[in-house]
Amino acid sequence: MDEDISDACYGGNVGLITALIPPLDIDPERTLAAIVGPPVMYRFVIEELEKKGLGEEQIIVSLERQMRCGVGKCGHCTIEHLYCCSDGPVFWLKDVRALRGAL
């Protein structure tokens, strides 16, 4: 039952997301990017998007991590003055880039 079904149902790209960004033909004037995934990838994806001409006012990040109560009471999701659960969890990069522990 260990047959390889890697290409049986899906014919799209597979691999690191950072390898998929460079060949994209995007117009930075008309593009917004949303990043959702493991926090370790954010820095690398942001770097690739900025190489494509996107500024931090065009990049949205989801900081859903360590949320427990979801209403801003327990404090597990705080990043400096922000509560990810009640202030977000979706933020513009320009608003969180400088916060320690955000990215």
The per-residue pLDDT for range 55-103, each reduced to its tens digit, is 999 999 999 877 888 888 999 999 999 999 999 999 999 999 999 988 8
Phi-psi region of 80 (alpha: psi -120 to 50; beta: other; left: phi over 0): left
* Cβ pair 90, 62 in contact under 8 A: yes
Pairing of strands 33-35, 78-79: unpaired
Cα four-point dihedral sign 47, 37, 99, 88: positive
The per-residue pLDDT for range 7-38, each reduced to its tens digit, is 577 778 888 899 999 999 999 999 999 999 98
